[in-house]
Amino acid sequence: MTGPAPNWSGTSSDPNDEQFGHVVEQAAIDEAAEYDAVLVGEPYDGAVIGRPGARDGPTAIRDALAGVKSHHFDAGPVSSVGDVGDVKLARGSVRDVQDSLRETTAELYDSGAFPVFLGGDNSLTYPNVAPLLGGNRDSESDTGNGDSVGVVSFDAHLDCREVREGPSSGTPYRQLHEAGLDTLAVVGARHFETSTAYADYLDEQGGTVVTAESVGDGVDSALDRIRTALSDVDTVYVSVDMDVLDATAAPGVSAPTPGGLTSRELFRLVRSIAGDDRIAGFEVVECAPSLDSTPTGRTAATAARTVAHFLGGMST
């Protein structure tokens, strides 16, 4: 279930300045399939390994997106975007939250909607993707149809830690592999930001790592590697953890580190991938506005534009 969607409005006094604030419409879940995409807020950071703050991400991303102009030079204006509000999350353990959220995400996929999830911490990736999986599904609400599923994860980290005392923001891809995920491509991972055991685990699962350094050597080559990694799957899900960006570009995240992607690299990668008609969902996670030291809220502004570029790429 979701709460009421916020009212959207533009910030410009120029009547020719069409912004996302003029484009995004309030929507109910049973209307979600009428739009090309619907925004879904997930205000939760109870599973963060590092610094909390991502629970405020959905509001900050919406506020920033409202003032972003809707025009894409190649695709034209973005339109047909709804907002179904924030998910009403269960109280309790991280697993309780994941289980309750999975019911809502399954309902969205069942309706035929294309969800754009605004996180929230990375633990929510598991319930955002799980309903798409077939095979070893562990909930009657999951709606996977047996098709193979791959995830593109833009992230500084692999997030495939073992689940010990419970799930965390570092375990979603371990959980998804155990639930039947077919392949994972991690884009923007940093050298010296993961443990050998987890790198070996991803390699054993047949995953792909495209490091931030590799992206810096050439975006076209990085895109080729991503597409090759996903060539054999039927359904694709795209996740953007804002810590994939260099700490100077996104200081407001749980674990900022140097050596990451530039905003321009991320925008181009996301926009290029968005045109793949196998993609079933998209998310932006780990935007923590309270941790952003810039007066302009640089991280939320970049997260909002990442959403805009993805939506623009869907139209090309």
What are the CA-CA distances from residue 102 to residues 20, 135, 189, 258 (Å)?
Answer: 28, 16, 27, 33
The domains located in the chain, with CATH, are 20-314 (3.40.800.10)
Task: Find all residues with CB under 8 Å of 14, minimum gap 6, and list them.
Answer: none
CB 27 within 8 A of CB 35: yes
Q: What is the pLDDT of residue 141?
A: 46
The residues of the chain scoring below 70 in pLDDT are 134-146
Task: Find all residues with CB under 8 Å of 149, minimum gap 6, and list them.
Answer: 129, 132, 133, 134, 180, 181, 182, 233, 234, 235, 236, 237
Q: In degrees rounded to 5, what are phi and psi of residue 241?
A: -90, 125
Q: What is the pLDDT of residue 137?
A: 40
Q: What is the pLDDT of residue 4?
A: 82
What pTM was computed for the model?
Answer: 0.95
Q: What is the pLDDT of residue 140?
A: 45
Three-state SS annotation for 105-148: HHHHHHHCCCEEEEECCHHHHHHHHHHHCCCCCCCCCCCCCCCC
139-184 pLDDT, tens digit per residue, is 444 555 569 999 999 999 999 999 999 999 999 999 999 999 999 9
- CA atoms of 11 and 21, how far apart (whole Å): 7
**Cα angle, residue 230 at apex, residues 228 and 233 outer, rounded to 5°:** 135
